[in-house]
Amino acid sequence: MLDERLQGVKRPETPKKVQDFFTSVAKRYDLANSLMSFGMHYSWKRKAVKEAGVKEGMKVLDICSGTNDVAIIEAKIVGDGGHITALDWNEAMQAAGQFKIDKFGLSDRITNVIGDAEKLPFEDNTFDRATVAVASRHLNIDKHFQEMYRVLKPGGRGVCVDFFQPPNPLFGRLYNFYSYAIMPKIGTWITGDKTGVYDYLPDSIRVYYTPEDFSKEMIGAGFKDVKYYPLTQGIVYVHAGNK
Ligand SMILES: C[S@@+](CC[C@H](N)C(=O)[O-])C[C@H]1O[C@@H](n2cnc3c(N)ncnc32)[C@H](O)[C@@H]1O
């Protein structure tokens, strides 16, 4: 359930707007992410993969894979006997992330697929693990979780890592200042974005689900043993559940 006080905040979440934004920022997306999060996004992603319990030989799906950060962490773990399918619907983001696959010599272990997270182009019961990092706010969460659940094998595990409003009021004020006054300027300056998305993102965090309601959506899709916990003072939460 969304915070009712913030229902009026405008969300540019039509598929076209999401596509235009990521096409506009793709080439400088990694740099902007690293600067805006002070490099912390890599540790959030590594922790999500650890929580997923990715192991050698597994078939893993990374949904909304963007420029392949999570897929690369996973591909290093699964080895030659495993495989990562990295799905995103934005070609510019995948193109911008291709050089990292090449740089780490992982092209045999990662397949980039263009597709919709709400309508995954895979058979039921295909993957051992499924992950999604910082993309949930672009999706209809119920459809997304239903699809994630459907393509996982019985006994498989799904993990999300995403932004939420931090629970501590004092830290929350600091974070509000940073995310409204500073972060949009860095993002817009680095990427040259003209879609205004970096002004929208701080609002979107505040109209987003609470971590608890987010976990209920996972449970509603069928996931069992759902758990969630904060990272970095609750700027980010990891949610995980089993099929
Ligand atoms: C903020 S980026 C996150 C990328 C990557 N997971 C990361 O952690 O850096 C969000 C990504 O979600 C993708 N995306 C948004 N909606 C999507 C959808 N319905 N289907 C597939 N990809 C989608 C965007 O194209 C973008 O690459």
Contacts of 100 (CB under 8 A, 6+ apart): 67, 68, 69, 72
Mean pLDDT of the chain: 88
Asked, for residue 141, whether it belongs to a domain, the answer is yes
For 65, how many CA atoms within 13 A lie in the half-sphere containing its CB?
33
Q: For residue 4, tell me if it sits in a domain.
A: no
Residue 2 above 60 pLDDT? no
Please state the rounded mean pLDDT for residues 39-63. Answer: 96
Residue 1 in any domain: the answer is: no
Ligand 1 centroid, distance to 19 Cα (angstroms): 9
Locate 15 and state its tokens: 């598929």
Max Cα–Cα distance, the chain, nearest Å = 50
Q: Does residue 113 form part of some domain?
A: yes
| Domain harbouring 199, CATH code | 3.40.50.150
For residue 34, pLDDT over 90 is answered with no
Q: Decide if pLDDT at 4 tops 70.
A: no
Quote the domain boundaries for residue 157.
9-242
Q: Give residue 207's pLDDT.
A: 64
For the CA of 93, the closest atom of ligand 1 is 27
Tally the domains of the chain: 1
Domain presence at residue 90: yes
237 in a structural domain: yes
The residue among 18, 4, 108 whose CA lies nearest residue 64 is 18
Which residues lie across from 60 on neighbouring strands? 84, 129
What are 161's two structure tokens?
Answer: 């890592």
- 118 domain residue, yes or no: yes
Of 68, 73, 66, 22, nearest in space to 43 by CA: 73
Identify the pLDDT of residue 206: 67
Rg (CA), the chain: 17
Whether residue 61 lies inside any domain: the answer is yes
For the CA of 26, the nearest atom of ligand 1: 27
